Structure 1
């Protein structure tokens, strides 16, 4: 954007004001920079240990060198670039121009090729829905954005080559739907069953990266498209939707808290669903 004319009173610039989408994209890019550093700085970290960035997802992906992989809703490209560094041919599909910008710069800094499709994942170009991917994966905070799981699972099925693997890793619904926690140390950590596991209502939420976003001097928060609506799915609904798409369930792994703390010991925090296309 050009600098304003210093002789004009503030607010009388002849340029159109930036749209809420433009402001949102700028804030998104700034959020990732705040969280991970510039793409160059983030690439330097990835280059030191790309496999480490994929843990524990790499347990389910297996050998990736030479494989064609699609990362649905791949956001800022961290996992995709890590896979590229390990020799995979990776494509990301995500609706955000700002995510694509950060991911593209990250890939360039890391010296890997990355194909990034800016699109709603349910409206991908037909050229990609030809069953040519060895692996399709989505992870951590993805499925709650869909109010109907059938189109999402059908997309994964169409992307996969025969024998290809679909990997979905996300937050466990016992944690997201049922249990609330208070306290920050093991001695005072308290868990309470306060939710309704079978609730089907949509929830209004801020986008996941909002906490990393800088304060904006532009449009008000109410004018910016940072609000989304979530549908929290049960584990049974997720498995059933995957099977109904034609995918064959290979394994469902329920995982504890994998971080170094033990505050949530004994409570499932994440799950990984692995399915194959016959």
Structure 2
């Protein structure tokens, strides 16, 4: 495959990052008032980050990155979209978060772009599907960690991608894909009515086995793999929203994992 996907995907996110900073989806008014954008289980599972050097891969416009900074971490965010990095830097300045650094780079070039290692490498929701090579990604994660450092990821469960969008009860797509998917659709998950021009993008589906195996092959030791029956995105039209902002499948349907989280360490 040529690098056309990278050009398309970068243009896709370059256009959407500034739009997302004013989207109701990200609840920016609450965030500016001090609310965290992190999910409670992420904070509990990663643990105390105060004083630790934390790198956030694929940080978008830096909301989660700055949430970790509010918990005391010395943060660096990395993203391949120039507009996202610009927005993250502006947000950090606006909020007065001193010491937050944002770097423009493709994930695969991160070790060279950063030139240092970190105590924690974190990555959040909806990121792995934008990466074509999960083995190379895992090696980058390992390269970026200090010995004894911690990697933590919270992500949408890949099994959810095989189910129909209406009810999430029928298998309609391959779980074991053999090629990426290219789509051309306006808007974004934050607002499907956003006026957008750069709408062509390519994504990949990685199985849970591939993700865990890649991290192990890169030399990381898995401390836990948790599968969660709630999600923070209404992926299916029949999901039920709870008071805490999470979504779950309707009562009476089989319980399925909607998200997963992994914590691993580098020896």
TM class by smaller structure:
0.7 to 0.9
Q: Partner of 2:151 in structure 1?
A: 166
Q: Partner of 1:98 in structure 2?
A: 83
Q: How does 1:65-84 map to 2 (within 5 A)?
A: 65-84=50-69
Structure 1's 206 and 63: CA in aligned 2 closer, same or farther, altered over 3 A?
farther
Structure 1's 130 and 100: CA in aligned 2 closer, same or farther, altered over 3 A?
closer
Q: How does 1:189-268 map to 2 (within 5 A)?
A: 189=167, 191-205=169-183, 210-211=188-189, 212=191, 214-215=194-195, 221=197, 224=198, 226-258=199-231, 260=242, 261-264=247-250, 266-268=255-257
Q: Partner of 1:33 in structure 2?
A: 22
What is the CA–CA distance in structure 2 between the aligned matches of 1:23 and 1:255, rounded to whole Å?
29
Give 1:90 shift.
0.4
Q: How does 1:2-151 map to 2 (within 5 A)?
A: 25=14, 27-35=16-24, 42=28, 45-50=31-36, 53-113=38-98, 114-124=100-110, 126=112, 128-131=114-117, 133-151=118-136
- Which protein shows a greater Rg? 1
Give 1:97 shift.
1.4
Q: Secondary structure in 1 aligned to 2:56?
A: strand
Q: Secondary structure in 2 aligned to 1:122?
A: helix
Give 1:143 shift.
1.1
State the Cα RMSD in Å.
2.7
Q: Partner of 2:236 in structure 1?
A: none
Q: Partner of 1:11 in structure 2?
A: none
Structure 1's 111 and 190: CA in aligned 2 closer, same or farther, altered over 3 A?
closer
Q: Secondary structure in 2 aligned to 1:124?
A: helix
Give 1:42 shift.
2.7
Q: Which of structure 1's runs of 4+ aligned residues deviate more than 6 A?
A: 20-24
- Given the two structures, how large is their TM-score scaled by the length of structure 2? 0.79
Contact 1:145 1:229 in 2 (8 A): yes
Contact 1:47 1:110 in 2 (8 A): no
Contact 1:31 1:214 in 2 (8 A): no
Structure 1 residue runs without a partner (length 5+):
1-19, 183-188
Give 1:241 shift.
0.5
Q: Partner of 1:157 in structure 2?
A: 142
Deviations 1:165-207 (A, max 9, x none): 111211111111x22242xxxxxx5611222221222101358
Deviations 1:89-130 (A, max 9, x none): 000010111111221121112211310001111112536344
Q: Partner of 1:7 in structure 2?
A: none
The answer to which of 247-256 and 199-208 deviates more is 199-208
Structure 1's 262 and 93: CA in aligned 2 closer, same or farther, altered over 3 A?
closer
